[in-house]
Chains A and B, each alone.
Chain A
């Protein structure tokens, strides 16, 4: 019997309040899809990397160079994320690599759902490397797991060396930092040692590789890193 008005068990008060204990992670949907992507990558032995940086630090140039230099040794595919245009996808396509462009429109980051659908159309080969080039933005993509194995953050010497301190979330969640455009070091006030100090302060586990996509300096170290990470498939 209802304690308020004494009615029977079927009665519902119009203003009856109910507390729902939800206790659900807000990013749960994204994280579940990311894990689904991760399972797909693991199953096919695909080494997936999420490349993040501010706009103009050289993500696409690094990819172009890498794809050309290593195409005899490794099998690659690329997912390009940009707000607008297929310009980057065209650049990657010109290297002879399989590429899909995702345009986020007004969106400021890729999420696991977008990657999930891009993968459906790609039919990736087993034992390959997938580069996911995120939208140029050091803030928003940090919170969104795509299912990648490693996150690679790229910064260039034409930016301030304090980028890791200004955008700690991104540097904190990355496994590797590539410092690009080192050929310009003699002409810019960038303090390389300070940059490394800040990087390790924000993330003591991060690996650091210095490269120049223009003169090729340091690229062999990046290539070795990449090859060492591509697992030997089970026989």
Chain B
């Protein structure tokens, strides 16, 4: 259940940003969680619901962008979609693949009032 640690870090970031902007409330938060990160969506949602209670994010609208896993083969330069972090190149079968996207784990933006 490391998702709870992740949610607590998000709360912390939001709180600090809101304080800095002297905001009263956060209306919307946009996250970027890549498909290849070790985040289980159901655990995340469960942790989220519990953690935001009584916090500055209590009534926030949560938007999550899920970038697809994209890899580039280091041998033949093929660019392809990855379902797993260890997917081999579908063309030349090389296991040496550079992950181009899918590992994002960011707070992108907040809408505050």
**How far apart sit A29 and B5, CA to CA, in the bound complex (Å)?**
12
A51 to B110, CA, bound (A): 37
Contact assessment for A172 and B112 in the assembled complex, using a CB-CB cutoff below 8 Å: no
Interface residue count for A (Cβ, 8 Å)? 35
Do A168 and B85 form a contact, CB below 8 Å, given A26-B105, A30-B9, A142-B38?
A: yes
Write out the residue numbers on chain A whose beta carbons fall within 8 Å of the beta carbon of B5: 107, 109, 111, 140, 144
**Is B78 in the interface zone, CB < 8 Å from A?**
no
Asked if A201 and B86 sit within 8 Å, CB to CB, the answer is yes
Contact of A26 with B9 in the complex, beta carbons under 8 Å: yes
Query: Is the beta-carbon distance between A19 and B111 smaller than 8 angstroms?
Result: yes
Q: Are B21 and A18 in contact (CB under 8 A)?
A: yes
Please tell me which one of the listed residues A27, A29, A172 contacts residue B85 in the complex, with CB atoms under 8 A apart: A172
Residue of B nearest to A29 (CB): B9
- Contact at B38–A139, with CB atoms within 8 Å? yes
Cβ contact of A18, chosen from B9, B10, B13, B112, cutoff 8 A? B112
Q: Write the nearest CB–CB distance from A196 to chain B, whole angstroms.
A: 13
B interface, size bucket:
20 to 34
Residue among A23, A26, A202, A203 making CB contact with B6, cutoff 8 Å: A26
A108 with B85: CB separation less than 8 A: no
Q: Are B38 and A26 in contact (CB under 8 A)?
A: no
Cα of A143 to Cα of B105 in the assembled complex, Å: 11
Judge whether A150 is part of the interface by a CB distance below 8 angstroms: no
Q: A22-B17, A203-B86 known; A17 and B105 CB under 8 Å?
A: no
Mask of B86-113 contacts with A, CB within 8 angstroms, 1/0: 1010000001100000000111111111
Bound-state CA distance A30–B6 (Å) is 10
With known contacts A17-B27, A143-B2, A168-B85, A27–B105 Cβ distance under 8 A: yes
Can you list, as one digit per residue, whether each of A18-37 has a CB less than 8 Å from chain B (1) or not (0)? Answer: 11111111111110000000
Beyond A20-B111, A111-B5, 14 extra complex contacts between A and B, CB < 8 Å: A14-B113, A15-B113, A18-B21, A18-B112, A18-B113, A20-B21, A22-B13, A23-B106, A23-B108, A27-B9, A30-B9, A140-B1, A143-B38, A172-B86
Interface residues of chain B, those whose CB is within 8 Å of chain A, are 1-2, 5-6, 9-10, 12-13, 17, 21, 23, 27, 31, 37-38, 84-86, 88, 95-96, 105-113
A–B Cβ pairs within 8 angstroms, 22 of them: A15-B113, A19-B111, A20-B17, A20-B110, A22-B13, A23-B108, A23-B109, A26-B13, A26-B31, A27-B6, A27-B9, A29-B9, A30-B9, A107-B5, A108-B1, A108-B2, A139-B38, A140-B1, A143-B37, A172-B85, A201-B95, A202-B85
- Which A residues are closer than 8 A to B by beta carbons? 14-30, 107-109, 111, 139-144, 168-169, 172, 200-204
